[in-house]
Structure 1
């Protein structure tokens, strides 16, 4: 055949393929989510094989392991004791609460590790929602933001590097930015959950933290988070959310979930010059783990291909429970 251009020429050897490879992964791309609880033991999470709820005593060792593998940022999520959960989630801004203590402990031992925190009420609320639920079953926006600002400031005081508002209340990025600046934390960044969809992929995460919406007494509780998280059918709305977050002072924007929303990552990449993070969420993680346990897929190959897809779509950073495994596999390459 007389072909002027043969694409296979540049696929012929590993060296040639490496020379023209458009995207790559490194351990520094990963943000490692860690679940923390008050107990003395490390508790495996049944719905997330390989993931655990970490005690404070064991947490620093796991963070050190991640750092030694090249991971440079973690994000902390609390499993809050039932007795501390209230309708207003006030435990979220307790300066001696679980997350502030965890931050201080990690920073004392591994100051070079960047720490991202989660700002939302659902782990602290007896209603299981990201905001305050009124007596008639409405998730209150502005009243919730007042608490989120207090939560963010407490986390910054403890040493957090990045504040991650995951609540999806309108205007919370600007309010948190102002609250941080007013308290002298101009250097603390905001990684906003810009396009957080009301997704079915969050199930294992909610089991890990026992943070799903639930009825409490006679008050009507919304069964889902559809009134504040985004509709999975919407794409243009993500652009609006991104424009608002950028105007309000977000330093990094996030898309959650990641894998089912690669198109959204790509759209945001075309619209903004801010760094973009993709959240490789618990449902995505657990599906891979379940299939790998049954021998249906090669875990390493599927994980690395999935993570690369986020980079190809336009993400700069990836929150993933596979972080340590992926970092170790990349070292082997």
Structure 2
């Protein structure tokens, strides 16, 4: 369907390329450069400035050791008949990866939502066409990024919308295509750590449905990715909707008696621990590291929705952040905070929300 982009495979090169478990041990707290390279209108399309090396240094200075780069590629195809990615875009992404690697940061580079071409098309009907594009894009990405050392990890997708066994079977095909495409390019890619997203990046669905990982010619080089915004009503909901009301208060000792209808009703400490334990027993304990590629809970400080007990709300956000970070790390799960410019100001690289940063760092202690 598309031409092969694996036109210059290299001899496998394992120099400086660790297996998944020792690699995961080298980083702890992760950070997302969200709403930027995955933005539909290009890097600045969603209001963030161009990524600079000084921004990456600022993230490192705060105490983070890994960066996730959500990235669009399909949106930058300059020939739809051949699925060829605009070389200027490839070069720009490579430049940003370089900012990270040159500063000793570990990097997770993915194909993000990207118009939904993969993650909204997990079906038998679309399987062949989506798989063909997955192959074409990853051959190009992997070839371009091949010479980076183990600091760069590739991630197959973002939040693939699979929620039953049949869809998991299709998602497994997309993941296998990804592994095969990257490995085929050779060089350091023959040994690079690759990251596979669980169905809908849900811990419970991943536990129930993700029972096999792709075949990989090299052993012990795969990781699994899940996300955590539990409960959504507390973490990010910014208005009351049909399926739930916003929650402002979360956790033991942080519920409001003044505004009881805004207390979280599920997804509190025990539910997080249960989810993390599922990831630990299914993957971590078997030598497959788990990355919590996105997580976050955000403050309601807008004019429309101000909690009546604002201090208690802010304290419960802090508590959620520290608790989820700490309990994930305690089970060998590496957390990557989702930030779109809310905690760290990207115009001048200054902290905008010191409490959030402090809460993440506290969870990492």
Under TM normalisation by the shorter chain, which class is it? 0.5 to 0.7
Q: CA deviation at 1:95?
A: 3.6
Which residue in 1 is equivalent to 2:108? 116
CA apart distance, 1:64: 1.1
CA contact (8 A) 2:279 2:290 kept: yes
Gaps of 5+ in 2: 1-24, 161-170, 231-274, 345-353
2:19 alignment partner in structure 1 = none
SS where residue 257 of structure 1 aligns?
strand
Contact kept in structure 1, 2:111 and 2:156, CA below 8 Å: yes
Match of 1:275 in 2: 289
The residue number in structure 1 matching 2:319 is 301
Q: Please, which of 121, 126, 133 is the counterpart of residue 138 of structure 1?
A: 126
- Structure 1 residues 237, 331: closer, same or farther in 2, change over 3 A? closer
Aligned counterpart in structure 1 of residue 69 of structure 2, from 66, 71, 76: 76
Equivalent residues of 2:31, 2:338 under 8 A apart: yes
Alignment pair present for 1:257 and 2:227: yes
Instruction: Give the one of 194, 197, 200 matched to 1:197.
Output: 200
Q: Is the 8 A contact 2:29 2:336 kept in 1?
A: yes
- Does structure 1 conserve the Cα–Cα contact (< 8 Å) formed by 2:223 and 2:290? yes
Secondary structure of the corresponding residue to residue 188 of structure 1? coil
1:62 alignment counterpart: 55
In structure 2, the CA distance between the partners of 1:77 and 1:234, relative to structure 1 (3 Å rule), is: closer
- Alpha-carbon distance in structure 1 between the residues aligned to 2:43 and 2:205: 43
- Give the structure with the larger helix fraction: 1
3-state DSSP class of the match of 1:71? coil
Q: For 2:182 and 2:58, how far apart are their aligned partners in 1?
A: 32
Residue 265 of structure 1, CA deviation:
1.1
Aligned CA distance change for structure 1 residues 246 and 305 (closer, same or farther; 3 Å): farther
- Tell me the equivalent position of 1:209: none
Query: Structure 1 residues 69, 132: CA separation in 2 closer, same or farther (over 3 Å shift)?
Result: closer
State the partner residue of 1:241: 212
What TM-score, normalized to structure 1? Answer: 0.58
C-alpha distance 39-247 of structure 1, shift in aligned 2 (>3 A): closer
Answering whether residue 183 of structure 2 is matched by residue 178 of structure 1, we say yes
Q: TM-score, normalised by structure 2?
A: 0.54
